[in-house]
Structures are given as structure tokens and as C-alpha cells.
Structure 1
Amino acid sequence: MWGLFTLLFTGACLLSFLDWRKTMGAVLLIGFTQDIFRKLIAGEPRVFIVMVGAVFAVGLTSLLVRKGRTALTEPFLRWTVGIRTPLILFLILLVLQFFHSFFRYGNPTVSLIGLLSYGAPFLAVIFGYFWATDMEKVRSLFRLYVVIGIVVAITIMMSFQGVRWTIFNEVGAGLKIYDMGTILESHSGIMRTGEIAAWHVATAACLLLILFFTALKRGSNTIVAICVVALMIAVFLTGRRKMFMFFSLFVLFYVFGIAYFRRGVALGYVFTGLVIALAGWLAVEIVFPGGYGESINNYIARGTTVYSDASGRFMEIGINPIYWAYNRVGLLGGGLGIGSQGAGYFGAANVAGGSSEGGLGKIMVELGLPGLIILAWLGLSGFRYVIRILKLAAAQSSEPRWLGFALGVVVLLFANFLTFSVATQLYGDIFILIMLGTFAGILLAIPRMIVNSTELEGLRNLSVQR
């Protein structure tokens, strides 16, 4: 197995180096197969976690060699200068906190883990910005991702049905969920954990909706609804409730955004949502009758409790960890990496405690109050820029698909931010960080893509506006 994966990995790296434009295909190939090989190799080596990052690093290096050093700043500063100051301050803070944790805990691995968690999406933004040259190219990536997501969902369902292949096992001991008066198994399919699988499947469902509403010729609402429901059932079978909430938030804000910018077409989105809900009900009540239905209903019933628990969980995991972090490390934070997965193995055990479970708590415990303030500033500046991008997309009367495309990417990122605020462990995965950074880079590339597609020189005035 080592030999086969080495061959696959080497081919992906070579492809990325020779043509950086093909890096995303190589990233998806390694990202969705690395866990399969890890499960099949004795000892389940942890090194497989970073393989996708290595492929991406090769592609990024190839890009930077060809584009030059100016490529590092163009995605952030070409179309807006409003984020320059908070971005520079944030990068300076990362460097300071890197050395803080390095000298405090005496192990560079802790600092490097933290630097990777913040730096990987930043570098992926740069790559995504240059990679996204037109809407159809991005849509082709989305289509590939959706197809793979459906495959992952099928493997989750196969695991639920009792197929006991080694590649369907969770890495390690596996997760048992004690809920609904019974013990539920977290089915992960070909991914290493149910949580990772749930993110990819839920993301595939979001991308499928973006593809549907930005297609030149829309297909059947029913077929799309059936696919989305199947993906959501797979999410339920992982036992990871937060990803059902993630998808619900995406749909809610997507429909609201369309209603705000284009009230006349909102009814179509609402109708599709109703079709999805109806297909979901039919799937549970008719397609899965009897004992099988009762079994799957335990997962669905657990998943739907996420709504009633949302407010309490947001306070407990989203807000309270800020205070817990302050009690542990003070206002200035404890340094990069101490709130990241794996830091406990390298001299930072129990430093962060439960304060790193929520996103705000993780930022507070690693970067301190200055980190929260700078990121809030950066977020506000970024929000203003995003609104300008959406207004620009909505103004393209000759190509109305731009609004649905831009809004879909924005809402996908926003839903991930809300999920991150209450669950950070998921966002320590390199593959997920690369994909999120790439999505953000695609968003920043939309003004350039619109300029290229419309060939209107007047739109270049956007580059000097704040």
C-alpha cells in the first residue's frame, strides 16, 4: 500500500509542479484518498494527514515561481485597500505569538502547528485567487467536488447498512454516541472520522445548490432535491449534528440574500427548498420503512435536536471560552498552537483546556485580546468589501448568474465561520483549511473575473475604492 500511495502522491506533486493550474484536481485526489491508505496501513500513520498539504505546497510554489513575490499581496490589495492595515497587524501578531509559544514551551512543533492552522488558509487564498480565472472553471471544480461528496455519502450509507470493509472504519477506536436512549455509531465512510466526512458531504450539498442556481439551463428540481436529501441523510449518519445546522444556515442565508438583492426570483429558491423538505420527508417515511426506518430515525431525531440546543451551545462553547481563556493565559494570550489539536503531545498539554473548543476561545487563548480586536477589525473591513462584491455581481444584468455565484461562496464561508465559533477541532484539518482558503480566494477573484468576462474597462475603478 505504501508503494501505491507513493506512486499516486508523486504523480500528484509532479502534476502540480509542472502545471499549477491543475493543483486543485491533485489536491482533491490526495485529500479524498489519503485516509483510505492510512486505514489500510498498519499503525494508521499520522503522516497521511499532511500529504494533501504537501501536494498543495508544491502547486503554490510553482505558482509563486511564475508570478513572483507580488502574488503574495495582490489578492488582498488589488481591489481594495481597506483590509491592508488590519491584515498587516494580524501577520505581525502571528509572528510575535509564534515566538511566544516557542520560547514558553520549548518545542517548535507547537508553534508550527499553530502557524499552520492560521497560515494554510491564508496561502490558499492566494492560490485560489489566481487559480479562479472564470466562473465556469470554478463551477467545474464544484461539480467534481459534488461528485466525490456523493461517493463519500454512499460509503457512509454502506457502512450504516453493515458493510464492514476496513476502509469504512474510523481511524483509531472510533466514536460512539450515547443519545436517543441507545448507542449510535458515527459512520465515516472512506474519511478518517465522521466529523471530517460530515463537513465534506455538507459542503458538497451547498456546492450542489450553488451549481443549480447558477446553471445556464436548470435541471429537475426533484433530482437536485433527492441528491441534497441523500447527502443530508449521510450527514445524519455521521452523528455530527453541527453540520446539519451548517447546511441549514447556508440555505437560510442564501435564500435571504437572493431575496434582498433580487426579490423577484426569491420564490424560485423558496419553492426548491420546499421540494427538498418534501423529498426528505418521503425518504424517511416511505423509502426507509420498518425497523430500518426506526434505526435511521434515531440519527435524524438526534440531528434535529441541534436547533433546540443551538442557543445554549453558542453561549457555552462560543462565548464562555473567551472568559476561560482569560483565566488561563491572561489578556495577551498564550502563543500559537496551544489551542490546536496535537499540541498536548509536544509540551503544551492542558494549557488551553476547554477554552479552545470554540473559535473565539481558541483565538483568545492563542492570540489574546489583541487578536480578537484585530480580527474583528479585519472582519468588519472584509464585510464591507464583500458587500461591494455582491453589489457588483448584482449589477451584472447581462449575466445574472454572478449574483447567485458570488452570494453562494460568501454564504458558504459565513456558515463555516459560525460553525467554527462553536467547534474548532474540525478546522484543524489541513484539507479543510485548504478548501476554505481556496473558496475565499475565489471570492476575492470575482471582481477580476467579472472584468474579464464583461471587458468593461470602467469596472477597473473598483481597485481604487475603499
Structure 2
Amino acid sequence: MITIAYLGCLGIACLVALTDWRKAIYWAIALDFLRDPVRKMTPDEPVLITVSVLGLWAVITLAAWSRSRRQIEQALKEHAKILYAFRLLIIAIIPGCVLSLVLYQGGYKMVALGTVSYLAPFAGIVLGYLISLRPKELGRIFQFYCLVNGIALISVVAEYCATDWPGLGGMRGMNWIRYSGGEIVQLIAGWYRSPDIMGLHAAQVVMFSLTLALQQPKRQSPFWLLLSGFGCLCLLLSGRRKMLGMPLVFVATLGLLCYGRKILRFQRVIMPVVMASLLLGGIFMVATEKYVSTEYTNFAGTMFTQGAERYQELVGGSVHHTISQSGVVGSGIGTATQGAYHLIDQKGLRSWQEDGVSRVFRELGIFGVIFIFLAGVSLIRGMGGAIAVVPRTWHGAVTQLAMIAIVVANLASFTVSHQQYSGDPSSGLLVLILLGMTLGVASLARVNFGTQRRSFSTELHPERDYTMPWGAMPT
């Protein structure tokens, strides 16, 4: 019954997308969470429920494309380097597609899986750009995401307290544990399908909430700071170091970007929020000693004592072994993508790539890696141009840099473990929506200020009324 209700909501959301794709994004965010408890409460736990939300995102993308072609064409002209990066990515995956078609029976399934995994997130850039053209939508989407997943994260505490709620814990037959320093760490998933997915959403809630605390009125900031603290608690219970590190990467990246742009609000606004977050974190660590078993805090501490060694082992060592096993041409697209075992005989996969870097080497080979690197360079140059046109004294400058910092934090997580992105393109889609929003903020700056690509120091004119990504400019 619950599966039928979920599929009914999914169908309604698709109809909403055909009439107003912007409203359908809120449906997609809600259904993105609901699919996990629904799948766990369905007898055979069909994987189709997990991937079903991709159909809604596809309808949203097609509806947005058909209704906003003029804006998309304008965006491609303004941000030509982003389009060039997309073309390089297409070139990169072609040899891998050919290999999968030739080497595997039913290889077209591998091609479809891998192609969607690599290219679907670029639809997020288009959606993010279009969303940002209505500035107030940016704050609303951030708030809705935080509220939906903030409520969902209550299930993490419920599972830790051994509450008998339906849908708690990982998938049936999975017992998520870690051994660390002679201690057993029971990983918590809550209503999400795995601790990895829960940790990813908890990390996003922390970063989104901190961004909202920077931009929302001061009377609302304490709420978002408290929500970010709750997200940190859930991160601790997830037992996933790669997720625990994401907010740290976010704060460090945002600080460096603001310092590099010489944003004067950095010390006045961002530093108090960071200090408040650190204070909240200290109180949180002291308070949790009484209510949270010490193995969770001990394991979280290994991120600092063992993190660098673990990263080198995962990325550097894995790349070396991957090239030794798959050669310079790789094994074909889709072979290291999460969910590939549903499509071909698992014996044909032969190895397992956990980190995102070795996954690219495995699937695309040296040729593909070179073009992926060139695409990344073009993307970075395009983002640099988008940053340059936004006046550093505008509120939108901090918003733009915060979204870039969130993308960087997700990229850092991807390099360590790609499964939560490659096996679930909607997670990657959400991250690339943020990247598209940063391009849209640049377009807003061009409209409001008439800035050119190389303008770094344009100042505000106090007599003009400006639009900012979170609504009207405060006076």
C-alpha cells in the first residue's frame, strides 16, 4: 500500500512538473527522501524505487528546457567555457562506451548506466541557472531541503535510542559496523537506506544551514545554527569519516575564497558564524559524552589521526592497482558504477573501486582521464569568470562563494567514495544545481551592475535598488 501511495505521489509530481517545473523541484526533494523508507518497508526492497525519482528529475529537466530555451541559449553564450567542458566530457566517455558495448553481453545497459551517471549532473547546471533567475527561489529551496531532511534526521536519534519505528536501519540483511581501536562502531542510517546516504544528507544540512545563517535575518540565524549542530550529531552517528570532513572542507574553502576576493564582510559576518559554530561544536562534544557512546567520538577523531594515510591509501594506491588491472584503456563505462552488479555477472567486474578517481581510470582509461582533466580545467576557468563579474561588496558574492564551497566539499567526498553519487545521479544532480546557481548569480550581477567579465572591484551605488539571491537587498 505504501509503495502504491509513493508511486502515486511520484505520478502527481510528474504532472506538476509539466505545468510548473519549479514547484516540482520541491516534490523531488521530498520524494528523494521518502523513497528510502518506502523501499525498506516494501517486501522485496526493489531497487526501482530508489531510481524512480530520476524519472521525475528527467521530466523537470525536459519541461525546463522546453519552456526556457531562450534563457538557456543566453546562458551558454555567457558561460561558453562550461559548454566547452561538457563537450570535452562527451569526448572522454566515448571510448568507454565502445569498450562496454564490445566486452560485455548486454553492454548497452552498462553504457546507459554510465552515461546517465556522467552526464545527468550537467542537467543540474541548467536547472540551477534557471532557478537563480528568480532570486527568492534560492533561499526557499535551501530552507525546504534543510527542513525536510532535518525532520528526516530525527530518525537517526530514534534508531540510536533503539526506538521501534518502521523503516529504521539499513537495507534488510545489512549490518553496518566499523572496527576501530578495539571498539565496535554501529553505524546509524535512520530512515535512509545506508549510513553513507544519511551522512551525505546530514552534511548537506549542516552546510546549507550555515549558508542560511549567513544570509537570513539575524533573528533566524540561531535556528539555522542549531539545525547545523543537530546535523553534526547525525554525522557523528553515521560513522562515515568522509562525511564528517565535508563541513570542514566547506568552512575552509569558504574562508579561503572570501579572503582571496578580499570581501570586507568576511571578518564582520563569516568569522562570527564560524566562531559560533566552533563554540556550538565544543558544547556539542562535551554534551554528547553523556548521551553518545565514546566509540563514536573516538572513531570521529581518527579522521584527524588517520585521515591523510587513509586518503593516500584509497586514492593513490587504488589508482595504481586499477591501472595494473584494467590497463591504460580501462574496462569500459559503467563497470565501476554503483549498481553495475544488477546488470552483468559480478565475476565480470573483477575488482572494486571505492574512490572516484580510480573509478574514472577504471571506466574511461588514460584517454578519458586526460579529457576529464581538461574538462575540469575549463569548468574551473568558467567558474572563475562567473566569480569575477560579481561585485565583492554585494551580498550575492558571499552566497555565490558559499555554494561553490559546498560543491568543493562534495567533490572532496567524491574523490574518497563515489558510490553515493555514481549509484544515485540525483545526489550529483543536486550538487550541480548549486554550481548552476553560481552561474546564475553572475548573470544577475551583469543585469544589476552591468559588470564585465574582468571587473573585480565594482562598487555598489546606494541610490539603486538591487536584487540579491535571497530576496531584496537589506538597507
TM (norm. structure 1) is 0.90
Match of 2:25 in 1: 24
Q: What amino acid does structure 1 have at the position aligned with 2:383?
A: V
Compared CA separation, residues 220 and 448, structure 1 to 2 (3 A)? closer
Counterparts of 1:154 and 1:110, CA distance in 2: 37
* CA drift at 1:236: 0.8
Counterparts of 1:330 and 1:134, CA distance in 2: 48
Match of 2:147 in 1: 147
The answer to whether the Cα contact below 8 Å between 1:64 and 1:71 also exists between their aligned partners in 2 is no
SS in 1 for 2:379: helix
The answer to whether the Cα contact below 8 Å between 2:124 and 2:430 also exists between their aligned partners in 1 is yes
Compared CA separation, residues 85 and 228, structure 1 to 2 (3 A)? closer
Counterparts of 1:279 and 1:450, CA distance in 2: 35
Match of 1:412 in 2: 406
* CA drift at 1:91: 0.7
After superposition, the C-alpha distances for 1:398-430 in whole angstroms (9 at most, x for unaligned) are xx2111111011111111111111111121213
* CA drift at 1:15: 0.7
The number of residues matched between the two structures is: 450
* CA drift at 1:433: 1.9
Compared CA separation, residues 353 and 135, structure 1 to 2 (3 A)? farther
Match of 1:342 among 339, 343, 365: 339
SS in 2 for 1:177: strand
* CA drift at 1:351: 5.4
Match of 1:134 in 2: 134
Q: Does 1:239 align with 2:239?
A: yes
Compared CA separation, residues 31 and 221, structure 1 to 2 (3 A)? closer
SS in 1 for 2:179: strand
SS in 1 for 2:162: coil
Match of 2:62 in 1: 61
Compared CA separation, residues 156 and 331, structure 1 to 2 (3 A)? same
* Aligned positions of 1:134-283 closer than 5 A: 134-174=134-174, 175-215=176-216, 217-219=217-219, 222-262=222-262, 264-267=264-267, 268-283=269-284
Match of 1:39 in 2: 40
Q: What amino acid does structure 1 have at the position aligned with 2:128?
A: G
Compared CA separation, residues 65 and 388, structure 1 to 2 (3 A)? closer
Compared CA separation, residues 332 and 73, structure 1 to 2 (3 A)? farther
Match of 1:82 in 2: 81
* CA drift at 1:188: 1.3
Q: Does 1:311 align with 2:312?
A: no
* CA drift at 1:50: 1.0
Percent identity between matched residues is 20
* Structure 1, gaps ≥5 residues long: none
Q: Does 1:369 align with 2:403?
A: no
Counterparts of 2:247 and 2:366, CA distance in 1: 31
Compared CA separation, residues 146 and 421, structure 1 to 2 (3 A)? same
* Structure 2, gaps ≥5 residues long: 456-475
Compared CA separation, residues 73 and 415, structure 1 to 2 (3 A)? farther
SS in 1 for 2:78: coil
* CA drift at 1:220: 6.4
The answer to whether the Cα contact below 8 Å between 1:352 and 1:365 also exists between their aligned partners in 2 is no
Counterparts of 1:73 and 1:95, CA distance in 2: 25
Match of 2:472 in 1: none
The answer to whether the Cα contact below 8 Å between 1:49 and 1:430 also exists between their aligned partners in 2 is no
Counterparts of 2:24 and 2:88, CA distance in 1: 30
After superposition, the C-alpha distances for 1:76-119 in whole angstroms (9 at most, x for unaligned) are x3223335545323213323422320221121222211112112
Counterparts of 1:458 and 1:446, CA distance in 2: 12
SS in 1 for 2:378: helix
SS in 2 for 1:183: strand
Counterparts of 1:187 and 1:84, CA distance in 2: 40
Match of 2:377 in 1: 380
Counterparts of 1:131 and 1:303, CA distance in 2: 37
Q: What amino acid does structure 1 have at the position aligned with 2:153?
A: A
Give the RMSD, CA atoms, in angstroms. 2.3
Compared CA separation, residues 319 and 8, structure 1 to 2 (3 A)? same
